Amino acid sequence: MIIRLIHGIHSPEGNNNMSAFAPHLAAAMPGVKVELFQYGFMGFWQARWRNAGVARQLAGLHKRQRTTEAEIWVTHSNGAVIAFLAVEEYGAMPDMIINFNPALDRNLTALVPRVEVIHSDNDRWVNLSQWLPFHLWGDQGKVGYKGDSGNTINHNASKIGGKMAYDDHMGAFHPSRISAWAYFAANRIDETLGG
């Protein structure tokens, strides 16, 4: 099994939320290959023009390295848009996608066997992004997936309780809860794929 982690915008290469998440997920899933898919720093406005090219690169990597082993993508924020485009525009087909606070329109989901969305009630950044015209960005990271596809499950992090609960855009990656969210993701992968 391979897990690719896809970061959001404003993430310097090698120093972002997904690079912090990687060792926790690797500890939660011994023997699984956890890899960072990094596309470097991307500013707010660059996403409109660069996302398609980054998605094409991700889909190409997926197709070149595709084997019989399961492949899961774990994204944060704009990473969900890149994963969506890689599937819908460039033909990639991972077995599962887990989106943390996706900056994706609430009615969009990649048509793969399973998508899980972790959202939080006060994710201000994705809430603002829904107002950008002619853009895939939206408030899914705040409200969850609201479309009709049966392949997508929502998890509201604001209502989970305990130390895993959070309300903001980056909450899952706070040092006090990053390990718990890695084990949560590992559990969801195991339950879905029987890994």
Average pLDDT over the chain, rounded to an integer? 89
CA distances from 75 to 8, 68, 117, 134, 161 (A): 8, 22, 10, 22, 22
pLDDT score, position 109: 98
In this prediction, residues 188-194 reach a mean pLDDT of 92
pLDDT score, position 129: 63
| pLDDT above 80 for 168 | yes
| pLDDT above 90 for 89 | yes
Nearest of 35, 48, 36 to residue 11 by alpha carbon: 36
CA distance 36 to 34: 7
Exposed / middle / buried, residue 163 (Cβ in 10 Å: 0-12, 13-18, 19+): exposed
pLDDT score, position 127: 59
In this prediction, residues 165-169 reach a mean pLDDT of 90
CA distances from 117 to 61, 98, 103, 186 (A): 24, 6, 11, 14
CA distance 14 to 138: 26
Q: Could you tell me the domains of the chain?
A: 2-193 (3.40.50.1820)
Is 54 in a helix, a strand, or coil?
A: helix
Q: Quickly state the pLDDT bin for 188 (edges 50, 70, 90).
A: very high
The mean-pLDDT minimum among 34-43, 51-60, 70-79, 170-179 falls in: 34-43
Is 44 in a helix, a strand, or coil?
A: coil
Q: Is the separation of the CB atoms in 47 and 78 below 8 Å?
A: yes
Nearest of 72, 122, 116 to residue 92 by alpha carbon: 72
pTM: 0.93
